[in-house]
Structure 1
């Protein structure tokens, strides 16, 4: 079994959907829906615009971080559809904007992490850092919005959305789209066909995910029987939450709210992937633990790891946690870099799925800790840095869960503002 490639957990959402959706209809609908979301910044989980709160510069910086992080996540979800429709060359400006926005956001998150660590200490420098966070985040969002591509051949529904909601810089493109839609009004069957194909593809994806949710529930039950509670708690919520989102998607499709259905299905896919990935990670950790434990005991002496050995021999334990403790206890262990990466990436993947799924409720602290974990994992640093990344990722998930408990089940007051009635829970 191979270690999951770095960064793969950030793109899991696209794959289940892209395999089934008709490329032209999906790309056109996704593009124009992005333009509507640019103005409203909503998600099926309930995001209203994240306007800066009026309680100071620090709150403005936090709000800007959340808004920029959501914009980058949305862009990452939509770029593959753009490429399917128009090709790599046509979407190159947007791809470059994505790379630029990621860089600005990463720099802003690093500033926020340092501020949380008390650096710098003087008030003037801290204010300058907060102002830089706001500026970088606003620039990231501006660049994404400016380079968001216009669909080449939108459906009638998409053309209406673009024509109605285009900004001044899109006026010429919107006029062209509107003219194209008017020209095709004489053939209603042709204009309806792409929409019907897209709706059918969304429904097919929903049905396919229904089956995967059932499998994920069985997988989670088996993992609970075999391993300790802490082995499954990062994804324990996932199957039920995925089923909830698919039920919402079914209702949205019946009401013709395909955009909401697509978002809910995307969240369900990410949740199912989280369970599937966790099962693979636990199996790999369980397979690698015995050798690592024997080597560590020979190096440090058996009493030093007696508690880990007892946990393993008890029958129900957490392989990832045990492997982490062995690696923390002996960072010079042979294979320690790979073992530490397995544990840290698992923690980061679970945190990322939780934050993405509940993004309307999750605030800047959880996102900042995850960003710092990613930075350390991407840096190719020491085993101790990788272990620190895992610690930060676990902290990110804990903070995200706390945010969801406080904000995620109310009609308002979360980091994403009040939930729109009828949107996915």
Structure 2
């Protein structure tokens, strides 16, 4: 049986032993050679000419020829021995190189595998997108205490960073679609994505310190602004609950569930905001400005997300009204297109018949009805004109808006894939392809919802902290949720961990 000591020894341990032996031999022979030099210097006659006044040496004192030749051989033999050991040592060193001995681990770090490189790219995309989103959320609060001209450079920095991130998502989306195909070009594409993300972060990091200087000269003014914003938002959020109930009654349970979910999350963020504002006020009154700034930024981030959720419900209500008004005309237009274009796409007739039945069967989702109508005719030329084109555009804007809101308030869990598809949906809609954009946006929402389920839904009774971490209001780096996300890139966005003096 193999000894446990042997089993525990690394495979290259024997190579290390050989090197140690070679080191010892080199030291021993070199030491012997150097020790022999003084002896030889004593035994051999001086080579320098004797002084003029010295007496001639007695021939009897000179060494015999045999003795002289033996002494003369000592130093050359020592040198040759040392050289031989050095040659052996060099051979051992070369034999340990990875290029000469397969299986030996190199001291240099190995190149990242494609899977590892892709994982790093996903992390860079999420971090850069989070940084831009948090910076965008802070600017409206900064605008309440900083005048427009002074705030303009920060708006430009955010816009430039957003442009870099959008380009990075575009490169990543093409990469996932298989472009480019050449392995070398694909590697360079990943490098370009990371470079774009790094540039976005650099732009925001470079501006973070100056924004702090402008914002936090006197924390009491921003605190008063936040408290007033909270009061207005609280009144709106209370109305959102009533709106959600009305949507459920008019358009059915699926629409009502979406609106109710947004209303409940908005209230969760506001519960968190209440606690943070109270702590910020106590800190400011006690003179602890650093803690006041930290808690105030927590409150501002939560209010920004509550505002997104409340506005999302209001926008959904308006778009449902608009869609409900369009459905009859879109259905009639679609039936006319099918009658004029033959053969009809598979299943198109059945889809239109199902939608017409829903119009008289009770509450239904008009946005979903328009989505099915426009998708059924997407390949027909007549689908891109008149009311059908208007319907497709409305569906795409609604889908992209819903996905955008969901990612924004769940960015602590939403991954790179959902964000990439969302960015692709926005680009596709801008290029004039609403039906395709709606498909991408719906898929982005599905992936984001999957990410949230995998992350875990916050439980009630946490004071909103878990929801704030899920939303990315808190960076989630510590048991209490970590520091608030502040304006800045990866290097500066968590700078309020211990407060700002």
Same fold per TM (> 0.5)? yes
Contact 2:393 2:434 in 1 (8 A): yes
Aligned to 1:421: 480
Distance 1:318 1:80 in 2: 34
Q: CA deviation at 1:82?
A: 5.1
Aligned to 1:293: 331
Q: CA deviation at 1:283?
A: 0.6
Contact 1:65 1:364 in 2 (8 A): yes
Contact 1:296 1:333 in 2 (8 A): no
- Secondary structure of the equivalent of 2:374? helix
Q: CA deviation at 1:99?
A: 3.0
Contact 2:422 2:444 in 1 (8 A): yes
Distance 1:109 1:235 in 2: 29
1:219 aligns with 2:266: no
Distance 1:389 1:233 in 2: 24
1:321 aligns with 2:368: yes
Q: CA deviation at 1:289?
A: 1.0
1:335 aligns with 2:375: no
- Secondary structure of the equivalent of 1:335? helix
1:65 aligns with 2:125: yes
Aligned to 1:372: 424
- Secondary structure of the equivalent of 1:375? helix
Deviations 1:105-158 (A, max 9, x none): 111101111122222334332222111111110011102222447259757xx3
Higher RCO (Cα < 8 Å, 6 or more apart) = 1
Distance 1:272 1:73 in 2: 18
1:56 aligns with 2:116: yes
Structure-2 change in CA distance of 1:213 and 1:152 (3 Å):
closer
Q: CA deviation at 1:422?
A: 5.3
- Secondary structure of the equivalent of 2:158? helix
Which sits farther off after the overlay, 57-66 or 229-238?
229-238
Aligned to 2:316: 278
Deviations 1:81-106 (A, max 9, x none): 55565545444433333332222211
Contact 2:138 2:300 in 1 (8 A): no
| Residue pairs, 1:8-407, within 5 angstroms | 56-81=116-141, 85-148=145-208, 150-151=210-211, 154=214, 158-159=216-217, 194-256=218-280, 257-301=295-339, 303-304=349-350, 305-330=352-377, 331-379=383-431, 381=432, 385-407=433-455
Deviations 1:306-357 (A, max 9, x none): 0111122211211001112222233235233321111111111111111111
Distance 1:204 1:78 in 2: 16
- Secondary structure of the equivalent of 1:391? helix
Distance 2:252 2:301 in 1: 33
Deviations 1:358-398 (A, max 9, x none): 1111110111011001111222x2xxx21111111111111
- Secondary structure of the equivalent of 1:255? helix
- Secondary structure of the equivalent of 2:397? helix
Query: In terms of Rg, which structure is larger?
Result: 2
Q: CA deviation at 1:72?
A: 1.6
Distance 1:90 1:255 in 2: 29
Q: CA RMSD in A?
A: 3.0
Q: How high is the TM-score relative to the length of structure 1?
A: 0.71
Distance 1:419 1:233 in 2: 33
| Count of residue correspondences | 333
Aligned to 1:170: none
Q: How high is the TM-score relative to the length of structure 2?
A: 0.61
Distance 1:272 1:118 in 2: 39
- Secondary structure of the equivalent of 2:219? helix
Q: CA deviation at 1:64?
A: 0.8
